[in-house]
Structure 1
Amino acid sequence: MAPSFIRNQPDFVLGLLYILAGGGFAAAASRYDMGTLAYMGPGYFPFMLGTLLAAIGAWIVLRAILVRGVRVRLAPWNLRSLLWMVGSIIMFGLALQPLGLVVALVLLVILASLASHEFTWKTTLVNATVMVVLNVGGFVYGLSIPFPVLPQIAAFPL
C-alpha cells in the first residue's frame, strides 16, 4: 500500500529510478579527475550528466506528490514481459562477440518483441532491419567502433 501523499505512483517510482541511476553515475564519475569547464577531465561530463539525471528524477518525484488530480496507481508487474526484456539484453551482450552485431541485434529485437502482447512477425522484422541499418551505419561506419559485424566463420581444413 503506497502512502496517501503520492498522487501518481508510476511517476514517483520512475523519479526514484532516475535519482538512483543519476546518483550512481555521479558517484562513480566523482572518482575521476573533474578538470574545469574549459579543460574537462574524464569525470566531468558523466558527473554532470548523472547530476542532471538525478535532478530530473527529483522534479518527477515532486510532481508525482504535488500535482493534484486523479490518483494513478502503479499497475502490477508483468513478469513474463520483464523476463523477455531483461533476457533479450543479456542475450545481446553474450551474443555480440561470437555472432556479430547484425545477428545479435536481430535476436535482441525478436526476443524483446516477444514481451509485447501485440507481437507480429512483420513489425518485428521491419524493426530489426531498421535497427541493424542504423546501428551498423552509425556505430561501425559512422563512429568507426570496432564491433564484429557478422559471425566469424572459421575455415576448416579439408
Structure 2
Amino acid sequence: MKMASQKDFFSGLMFTAVGIAFAVGATNFTVGSAARMGPGYFPLLLGIVLIILGVAITAQSFRSKAPDGDLIGKFAWRPLGFIIGANLAFGVLLVGVPALGIPAFGMIIAIYALVIIAGYARPNCSLKESIILATILAAGSYVAFVYALKLQFPVWPAFLTA
C-alpha cells in the first residue's frame, strides 16, 4: 500500500500517540463511571477519542488523492524556538525560579514578555503591535483572573508592591 498523504499520515500518528498518552495517564486516577465520574474519566475518554481520530486520519492518508503526494515541508525552526522560548519565559517570570535566584515578576511583566518574544516568531514582527497586543491581553487577564475570578497570584513584581 502506498502512502498518498504524508501530512495526514504523520498527523494521524501524532493524534494516536497523544491519545495513548492521555489514556495511559488517566489510569493513574480513579476513572469511575458515567454516573459518578472520577478525575480520570475525562482524560480517558479524550484519549480514546484521540486514538480513534488518529487511526482514522492515518488510514485516510493511504486513500487521499492529493496530486503531489501532499508532502511535508521543511521544519519551521524560528517559530518553534520563539514560541517555546516565550512560554518558558512566561513561566519563569510569573512564578520565578528560587533555586536560580530569579524572583517572581508577576502576571503583567510575564504577559508582556510572552507576547513580545512570541511576536518574533513572525518574520516581519512589529514591536509596536506586540506592545499594543500585550497591553490588551494584560488588561483582559487582570480583569478576568484578578477582578472577576478573584485568583490570588502576583500581579506585579514584589519589589514594586512592597
TM-score clears 0.5: yes
Counterpart of 1:130 in structure 2 is 136
Measured after TM superposition, the shift of residue 147 of structure 1 is 3.0
Cα drift, residue 24 of structure 1: 0.9
From 108, 112, 126, the counterpart of 1:120: 126
Structure 1 unaligned regions, length at least 5: none
Distance 2:108 2:81 in 1: 23
Report the AA paired with residue 119 of structure 2. S
Aligned length: 153
* Cα 1:110–1:39 shift into 2, 3 Å: same
Report the TM-score, using the length of structure 1 for normalisation: 0.81
Q: 1:34 aligns with which of 22, 25, 31?
A: 31
Q: Secondary structure at the match of 1:138?
A: helix
Percent pairwise identity = 31
Root-mean-square deviation (CA), in Å? 2.4
Q: Does 1:46 align with 2:40?
A: no
1:4-153 alignment to 2 at 5 Å?
Answer: 5-70=2-67, 71-97=69-95, 98-153=104-159
2:158 is paired with a residue whose SS is: coil
Query: Structure 2 CA distance, aligned partners of 1:134 and 1:6?
Result: 46
TM-score normalized by the length of structure 2? 0.79
Runs of 4+ in 1 over 4 A off after TM superposition: none
Provide, for residues 40-92 of structure 1, a one-character-per-residue CA deviation record: whole Å limited to 9, x for no partner. Answer: 11111121122223322333323333221222111111323321121111111
Structure 2: runs of 5 or more not aligned: 96-103
